[in-house]
Structure 1
């Protein structure tokens, strides 16, 4: 196919994707789920290792796992395979973006900064998959420091999310699901050698939910791109 400067439908798909935080309970068709998985499988990977192992839960399995996750959270049985802390963002740009993200989400559902109980309750909706009928858990092998395999999982997940968007569906990648790796591994009978990076809840977005009524913005290109002998790019609007 010859190169073209005309945007293709993929441009609309990429720019319209957003993280859904309230789903309708209606299960997706088997053909839609298979199609999403086949699109995700087409992701590139280092040396074509395809290091992803993906467990999808639906129906009774989804409900039972949600109960186990909520119980693990209540008992503070955190078991992340990979660290996560807001403190790692340091001071300045990254933590400012994270704080803005949290403020935007809580504002959309009418939760004030001082209402810690409501914030905690809202965070626990992650463990109920935000009402989604399906959730996918993305596992990876422990190759070296894990960075390249994790990068491959990220590309797989982006294919997964864009495929959902292309079908008029939605999803949300959730770091919080990875905070209970042992609980998930035990429930799904996953070998210890596979590490849980994160999960994706997916289904049909509830378009009447206020929490789905906003899309987080992105920084201008000037804040993330440095051009070398590539004139004119940042002058375009």
Structure 2
């Protein structure tokens, strides 16, 4: 079953990239990825995702606006986001991911300024030539819309990987939803869930290849028979 094997390889080899080459993604390749992503499932086939993609000069303008907002602590999230709400194994997983990333980046635990700079790289889209911002249409209850948009985002990420590209989902970008709407002229009724920076990963950079443990099935699935 080659189709099954192909998916097996793509889903296991996909990694979130945090350092990209500046090379732009061609329109034809981007449209191929988007053509895959539009087949994501959604409740009653409502397809409540609205995607804004910034590249070139607009991408630079958006990055500069987000960096300025961060410097002034002008946060405009549409939904609460706080790592302090994590607990137990969820907190442990988050801390393990952070430790692995900073280790791969060669940043010591007590290097506060370097860590702050690394976090701000989110707002530079890690050097990616393009960023996709995923907004939610106000069509029904918010959590269900978020689930649908999440499925779109995963399909988009897997299609990037299948086409030889890389992406990284970034919830941090959603802290600047108001800034994004202002720069891109997005309808205020659309609420931003997260963004995905994408392009060609920089080869050889350890921040693009560090391994993360995934919980075994026994920890996350209960069978009822």
TM-score range, shorter chain: over 0.9
- Is residue 15–residue 209 contact of structure 2 (8 Å, CA) maintained in 1? no
Partners of 1:6 and 1:159 in 2: how far apart?
16
1:160 aligns to 2:140 (yes or no): no
- Is residue 106–residue 112 contact of structure 1 (8 Å, CA) maintained in 2? yes
Shift of the 154–6 alpha-carbon distance from structure 1 to 2, 3 Å rule, reads closer
- Of 118, 121, 131, which residue of structure 1 is paired with 2:117? 121
SS at match of 1:83: coil
Partners of 1:170 and 1:148 in 2: how far apart?
27
Shift of the 48–144 alpha-carbon distance from structure 1 to 2, 3 Å rule, reads closer
TM-score by structure 1 length? 0.92
* Structure whose alpha-carbon radius of gyration is higher: 1
Partners of 1:85 and 1:143 in 2: how far apart?
26
Q: State the match for 1:58 in structure 2.
A: 55
Q: Which runs of 5+ in 1 are unaligned?
A: 230-237
SS at match of 2:200: strand
Partners of 2:158 and 2:4 in 1: how far apart?
16
Count of matched residue positions in the alignment of Structure 1 and Structure 2:
225
Partners of 2:2 and 2:9 in 1: how far apart?
14
TM-score by structure 2 length? 0.97
Shift of 1:143: 4.2
Partners of 2:68 and 2:9 in 1: how far apart?
40
Shifted more, 130-139 versus 113-122: the winner is 113-122
1:177 aligns to 2:212 (yes or no): no
- Is residue 126–residue 197 contact of structure 2 (8 Å, CA) maintained in 1? yes
Q: State the match for 2:89 in structure 1.
A: 93
**Superposed CA RMSD:** 1.4
Matches within 5 A, 1:225-236: 225-229=221-225
